[in-house]
Amino acid sequence: MRDNTVVVDRAGNGAGRPTRLDFAARFNVAVPFIDRHVEERRGGKVAIRAGDEAVTYAELAERVARCGNALLGLGLKRGDRALMVVKDAPEFFYLFWGAIKAGIVPVPLNTLLRADDYRYLIEDSACAALIYSPEFATEVEAALEAAARRPDHALRVEGEGQTLRALIAMAPAALEAAPSTATDDCFWLYSSGSTGKPKGAVHAHRDMVVTSQHYGVETLGVTAEDVCFSAAKLFFAYGLGNAMTFPLWVGGSAVLLGARPTPQLTFDVIQRYRPTLYFGVPTLYAAQLQAMEQAKPDLSSLRLCVSAGEALPGHIFARWTERTGVPILDGIGSTEALHIFISNRTNDIKPGASGRVVTGYDARIVDEAGHAVKPGESGRLLIRGDSTAGRYWNNAERTKRTMVGGWLDTGDTYMQDGDGHFIYCGRNDDMLKVGGQWCSPFEIEAKLGEHARVLEAAVVGRGDADGLIKPEAWVVLKEQAADTKAIEDELVQLCKSGLAHYKYPRWFRFVGELPKTATGKIQRFKLRQG
């Protein structure tokens, strides 16, 4: 087999068996995703549209190579980490793939985090470089100031002086792909932990091929004719697949929106670029439906919509389908699995359920002892597939608990109905998914505890009018207050100034005490019922 190629063997497919993916012994994933298109005479085709910019496959391949050379020129070595706090823009592609082609490990980070979060990630990753869009300079530069160990290189994507753009423009255009294998470390994605800090899931070269083929091609039917638009950003594993690896795998194109996706902006993008596939999260679908009470956007280009990040309530599915005529496929994925592993299909949709296992994956629902539960009973969901991260960076203890004997413990409780559809029943830990993003109640509680008048606080998830989970705070004050509204405003401000903005509590309850066990543990289930 030629170096850096993968053979998709469809022989077994159709009989319910997945296609087999055979990787060349020497395999750098930047070659099939980026360089292959020029070889296959797709160089003139548009790969990326963003604002007024259109980037062809030939331009993409050249800029990726230049960017890889720029990183090597800075002195980065094989295996070094390059943290990215980069908005959705073509530079995200150049940097991510340029690093991989050069053998450097890109680590896209959530761009909504705060200085203290970035400081931790700089230290934990021991990165050699940090590249950021100027939009995020305030938080990133404060983190660089505070970090115990600064990366050798901190670089803005664009603007004055030495920027990534300037380096790309000057770097040579020829770059040999660094030698690696399909299972070598390739890139990391951080995922939040309920108690501890975020954990870096280490993904291999083959992982993006696996998700693009099994979910992108075999589940969604993505083709070169598709135009993909993801409201979920590229730094999420979800967005990374939706708007980057799926279109690049099949030679399709991606539409990028750099700004925060408000309903109106998503409508504008869909009307202007006429994507065929749209990827969102339940909170945004709910907001879009709300906006459609007034606006009448033309969504006729869409053939299919996808939802993930948290469970899609059946009523949102029903209202969207009725309004637009386009179904939403709900599917569950994770950072550790890289993308969706249980999904609804266009010909097999059960509203309110996550669907069935995606080709190439196995799923089991087990009890506390690790035995399979009886049909109809709920238990822990374990999954297995070739895209799952093999370990967390520098965290043997979490690796041992999560990656067990080739299976990945999702941390979710699931059951299967009589027809074999998987139904989400909640988390096994206290973590909340808010607008598709992780929220640790402990982190919010610690922030609330910083207020001089707070004795203690507990945060739980509560469903809003759409049935979507948001944080609710139960607060015990040191001394009772007549005007809790003023304190509530201060607490919201405190959270908004120190935490990623989606983490602030939407409701407050001031109480005399919190329900606790004999050993002093807060009984969150009682608060959830209260």
Which residues are at the interface with ligand 3UK (CB under 6 A)?
191, 236-238, 308-311, 330-335, 339-340, 354, 410-412, 424, 427, 433, 438
Under DSSP, is residue 475 helix (H, G, I), strand (E, B) or coil?
A: strand
Indicate the residue among 35 and 88 with the shorter CB distance to ligand 3UK.
88
Residue 188 C-beta: closest distance to ligand 3UK, Å: 13
Residues 6+ apart with CB under 8 A from 39: none
Residue 64 C-beta: closest distance to ligand 3UK, Å: 23
Residues 6+ apart with CB under 8 A from 194: 429, 430, 431, 440, 441, 442
Length of the chain: 530
Residue 483 C-beta: closest distance to ligand 3UK, Å: 38
152-175 burial, b at 16+ Cβ within 10 Å, e below that, comes to ebbbbbeeeeebbbbbbeebeeeb
Indicate the residue among 180 and 191 with the shorter CB distance to ligand 3UK.
191
Indicate the residue among 246 and 474 with the shorter CB distance to ligand 3UK.
246
Residue 436 C-beta: closest distance to ligand 3UK, Å: 6
Indicate the residue among 80 and 207 with the shorter CB distance to ligand 3UK.
207
Under DSSP, is residue 522 helix (H, G, I), strand (E, B) or coil?
A: strand
Indicate the residue among 18 and 309 with the shorter CB distance to ligand 3UK.
309
Residue 163 C-beta: closest distance to ligand 3UK, Å: 30
Nearest CA-CA partner of 257 in 27, 498, 23, 51 = 51
For residues 314 and 337, give the distance between their C-alpha atoms in angstroms, rounded to a whole number: 25
Contact between residue 199 and residue 391 where contact means Cβ atoms under 8 Å apart: no
Name the token pair of 371: 């035995």
84-108 burial, b at 16+ Cβ within 10 Å, e below that, comes to bbbbbbbbbbbbbbbbbbbbbbbbb
Under DSSP, is residue 190 helix (H, G, I), strand (E, B) or coil?
A: strand
β-pairing, 391-392 vs 379-385, is unpaired
For residues 238 and 338, give the distance between their C-alpha atoms in angstroms, rounded to a whole number: 7
Indicate the residue among 24 and 326 with the shorter CB distance to ligand 3UK.
326
Indicate the residue among 156 and 339 with the shorter CB distance to ligand 3UK.
339
For residues 466 and 288, give the distance between their C-alpha atoms in angstroms, rounded to a whole number: 12
Compute the chain's Rg from CA coordinates. 23
Residue 317 C-beta: closest distance to ligand 3UK, Å: 11
Name the token pair of 423: 């139904």
Contact between residue 451 and residue 494 where contact means Cβ atoms under 8 Å apart: yes
132-146 burial, b at 16+ Cβ within 10 Å, e below that, comes to bbebbeebbbebbee
Indicate the residue among 69 and 399 with the shorter CB distance to ligand 3UK.
399
For residues 516 and 147, give the distance between their C-alpha atoms in angstroms, rounded to a whole number: 37
Residue 339 C-beta: closest distance to ligand 3UK, Å: 5
Under DSSP, is residue 150 helix (H, G, I), strand (E, B) or coil?
A: coil
Indicate the residue among 129 and 434 with the shorter CB distance to ligand 3UK.
434
Residue 197 C-beta: closest distance to ligand 3UK, Å: 15
Residue 314 C-beta: closest distance to ligand 3UK, Å: 12
Residue 33 C-beta: closest distance to ligand 3UK, Å: 18
β-pairing, 185-191 vs 153-156, is unpaired
Residue 46 C-beta: closest distance to ligand 3UK, Å: 25
Indicate the residue among 237 and 499 with the shorter CB distance to ligand 3UK.
237
- 492's enclosing H/E stretch is helix 484-498
C-alpha dihedral, 302 to 303 to 309 to 313, nearest 10°: 100
Indicate the residue among 12 and 426 with the shorter CB distance to ligand 3UK.
426
For residues 137 and 132, give the distance between their C-alpha atoms in angstroms, rounded to a whole number: 7
Residue 328 C-beta: closest distance to ligand 3UK, Å: 10
Residue 238 C-beta: closest distance to ligand 3UK, Å: 4
Indicate the residue among 38 and 357 with the shorter CB distance to ligand 3UK.
357
Indicate the residue among 94 and 246 with the shorter CB distance to ligand 3UK.
246
Written in H, E and C, the secondary structure of 242-294 is: HHHHHHHHHCCEEEECCCCCCHHHHHHHHHHHCCCEEEECHHHHHHHHHHCCC
Indicate the residue among 251 and 411 with the shorter CB distance to ligand 3UK.
411
Contact between residue 156 and residue 133 where contact means Cβ atoms under 8 Å apart: yes
Residue 379 C-beta: closest distance to ligand 3UK, Å: 14
